[in-house]
Chains A and B, each alone.
Chain A
Amino acid sequence: MISIWFFIGISLSVNGALILAAGIYQLVNPPVNPGVQLFYLHANVWWGVVLLVIGALYCVKFAPRQQSKRGCLFPKGVYACRRK
């Protein structure tokens, strides 16, 4: 069974990638009127990177194939995996 954490990883990765792409687009084509405060910090770029990295880590760590290899399927979950 696919771990819930894998679904979380998918969600974070896809959202991170989309936010990062939007941030890079705005970085390359800065809008005349950004419409948000602190635009110069480009929060969508670094926040997108943060989500993408965390999401990718979750996807790799809890990928269905890896879980099966280790015989560590949900619901045994995180604890059981770590002990193995």
Chain B
Amino acid sequence: MTPLLATDVPTRLVRLAPVDIVIVVFYFALVLSIGWYLKGRANTGEDFFMAGREMTAWVAGLSFLSANLGALELMGWAGSAYQYGILATHWYWIGAIPAMLFLALVMMPFYYISRTHSVPGYLKLRFGEPSHALSAVSFAFMTVLMSGVNMFAMAKVMQIVLGWDINFSIWVSSLTVAIYVTLGGLRSAIFNEVLQFFLIWTGALLIPILGLYETGGWTNLKLQITQRASEQYVHLWSGLGSFSNNPMGINWVGIVFGLGAIISMGYWTTDFLVVQRILAAKDIRSAEMAPIIGAGFKMLVPIIVILPGLLGLAVLPEKLVPESVATVTGAHSYNDVLPLMLARYCGPGLLGLGVTALIAGFMSGMAGNVSAFTTVWTYDIYRPFINSKGSDRHYVNMGRWTTVIGVLVSVGTAYLVMQFASIMDYVQALFSFFIAPLFGTVVLGMLWKRATGPAGFWGLLCGTLSSISMWTWVKVDPSALRYVALSPHAKGLAQDMYQALWSFVVCVVMTVVVSLVTKPIPEGELTGLVYGLTEVPSVGDVPLYQKPLFWAGVVTVVFIALNIIFW
């Protein structure tokens, strides 16, 4: 994602009318009311940390998607669409759909039948304590830092878009999240994520509708973009034959294997922030259907994210610039394209709804991080390493306190980022280090019974270290990118793709090598954890249109068709 950097240029893109303020205040009142209403339904560990494992496929699926659909995501990718054109859509299609379907059909049965509370929890069952501890500690640490980074970014956006004071934004949003998650636990976070999903769509959908009306439809829009930028801005695949033939400086190998096969697989199948929502599903069919429902809606998200960026290219009179240039010149940056388009079309009332959608996106992302942190801290760190003899009530109380502490640490991180803006980039990079190797470890654990406990630990550790090493190498010597991405024409985003690819390869090779020289785990201990040794439960005797496999096929056909149409 294009980073939203810290700037000290107080500007205001839009001015809210009284009706807009009422809509924003109503949103805060509603989320707090939901938290208050749910407070009596979070008394046991299963209720507080896993939402009682009783979510329907629709609720789990929309929540799964919403946890990723934060406002930083919306604004960052709209900015990327302005900067790189329709190529940014890859992060929504090949960079998400195959991974979501893989999670639904291949990985979800194992997560679900192992009854684990978390992804690190699965590693504990499959590989033992060292892998569990490594992934739990790194995830908890990074999640709470990411929450703070997002909080600061939100406050900064609110300052730039609305002129709000940074401290006001940080404290109001963090206290609201702390209250409703502490009261209602994961169920409250999920309810609010579904609410956010509707707010984002209703708040942002008018931009593409009115934008396409203004430009005269998709064909005219493509013509205008070609005239103002280049033809490669409106093609998904045709410019990916080489690094130098597209605005992103990447080739198809990086997109297909780096993004599609590794980064997205790592994020959508092992990042506990999103997987936790699916683990709350009420049965195996719901758990498999939820990511498929999420995938169906994910394919539509470019309408409210990518299309506004492309419309900005065609209709905005000014030329937007990179954040670094905007900081110096005071011009609008790429990341401002969504608020600019919002201000262009949305009058009183609609503007309030659009701003509420952004706030809801930020708060939902923060709540997602905090609820995931709370679960991993309580179940994967506190219970196994600090106090293993507590009662269920004790762990629920620990979860509530951890929520408050997690929010406070996030606030502290937000203020730290405020002082040292570059930390934001480092934290975001650090988080990405763990994703690709974690996917390698989990997928080998599920698919290969010969993988051993020490192999899981060393594969994860070496994969992560290799990722950090490559990132540091390019940071110290930017010309090293040509070696990491295998081309002198590669640009920044290519680094992420190839770094993930190599770290995954290192993880897999290390896991295989160590497995072959260590003692195999007895097959009896792997039942319910590995393919071939586990009877995957059936989704039941349901009609064809209720089978996950059928809907996965439908999503696949639409996915292929979309890529061909926008080739």
- Per a CB cutoff under 8 Å, which of A12, A43, A77 touches B350? A43
Whether B52 contacts A75 by the Cβ 8 Å rule is yes
B252 within 8 A of A: no
A26 within 8 A of B: yes
Whether A51 contacts B206 by the Cβ 8 Å rule is no
CA distance A41 to B206 in the complex (A): 12
Whether A43 contacts B210 by the Cβ 8 Å rule is yes
Contact (A48, B349) CB under 8 Å given A10-B30, A21-B19, A75-B52: yes
Whether B347 contacts A36 by the Cβ 8 Å rule is yes
User: Which residues of A11-28 are within 8 A (CB) of B?
Assistant: 11-12, 14-15, 18-23, 26
What's the least CB distance linking B338 to chain A, in Å?
A: 15
Contact (A75, B213) CB under 8 Å given A8-B195, A11-B195, A44-B348: no
For residue B344, which residue of chain A has the nearest CB?
A37
CA distance A75 to B280 in the complex (A): 11
A38 within 8 A of B: yes
B416 within 8 A of A: no
B448 within 8 A of A: no
- For B, the interface residue count at a CB cutoff of 8 angstroms equals 39
CA distance A15 to B193 in the complex (A): 17
For residue B38, which residue of chain A has the nearest CB?
A1
Whether B345 contacts A43 by the Cβ 8 Å rule is yes
- Per a CB cutoff under 8 Å, which of B56, B202, B206 touches A77? B56
Q: Mark B344-360, 1 if CB is under 8 A from A, else 0.
A: 11111110110010000
CA distance A48 to B203 in the complex (A): 11
B39 within 8 A of A: no
Whether B348 contacts A26 by the Cβ 8 Å rule is yes
Whether A14 contacts B347 by the Cβ 8 Å rule is no
CA distance A76 to B202 in the complex (A): 26
| Total cross-chain contacts (CB, 8 A) | 99
Name the interface size band of chain A: 20 to 34
What's the least CB distance linking B439 to chain A, in Å?
A: 30
- Per a CB cutoff under 8 Å, which of B195, B198, B206, B282 touches A43? B206
B103 within 8 A of A: no
What's the least CB distance linking B69 to chain A, in Å?
A: 16
B509 within 8 A of A: no
CA distance A47 to B348 in the complex (A): 12
Whether B191 contacts A43 by the Cβ 8 Å rule is no
User: Which residues of B121-172 are within 8 A (CB) of A?
Assistant: none
Whether A7 contacts B34 by the Cβ 8 Å rule is yes
Whether A75 contacts B55 by the Cβ 8 Å rule is yes
CA distance A10 to B343 in the complex (A): 26
B535 within 8 A of A: no
Question: What chain B residues lie within 8 Å of A10 (beta carbons)?
Answer: 30
Whether B349 contacts A19 by the Cβ 8 Å rule is yes
B490 within 8 A of A: no
Contact (A15, B347) CB under 8 Å given A2-B37, A10-B30: no
Whether A78 contacts B58 by the Cβ 8 Å rule is yes
CA distance A10 to B198 in the complex (A): 12
Question: What chain A residues lie within 8 Å of B349 (beta carbons)?
Answer: 18-23, 44, 48
B22 within 8 A of A: yes
Contact (A77, B344) CB under 8 Å given A7-B191, A8-B195, A41-B213: no
Whether A8 contacts B198 by the Cβ 8 Å rule is yes
- Per a CB cutoff under 8 Å, which of A23, A34, A37 touches B214? A37
Whether B59 contacts A77 by the Cβ 8 Å rule is yes
Question: What chain A residues lie within 8 Å of B27 (beta carbons)?
Answer: 11
Question: What chain A residues lie within 8 Å of B52 (beta carbons)?
Answer: 75
- Per a CB cutoff under 8 Å, which of B54, B210, B348 touches A22? B348
B521 within 8 A of A: no
CA distance A18 to B23 in the complex (A): 8
Whether B30 contacts A7 by the Cβ 8 Å rule is yes
Whether A38 contacts B195 by the Cβ 8 Å rule is no
B75 within 8 A of A: no
Whether B195 contacts A15 by the Cβ 8 Å rule is no
What's the least CB distance linking A7 to chain B, in Å?
A: 6
Whether B353 contacts A19 by the Cβ 8 Å rule is yes
Instruction: Using CB atoms and an 8 Å cutoff, list the residues of chain A in contact with chain B.
Output: 1-2, 4, 7-8, 10-12, 14-15, 18-23, 26, 34-39, 41, 43-44, 47-48, 51, 75-79
Between A and B, 26 residue pairs with Cβ closer than 8 Å are A1-B41, A4-B191, A7-B30, A7-B191, A8-B194, A8-B195, A11-B30, A15-B26, A15-B353, A18-B22, A19-B349, A21-B349, A22-B19, A22-B348, A35-B347, A43-B206, A43-B210, A43-B345, A43-B346, A43-B347, A44-B347, A75-B55, A76-B56, A77-B55, A77-B59, A78-B56
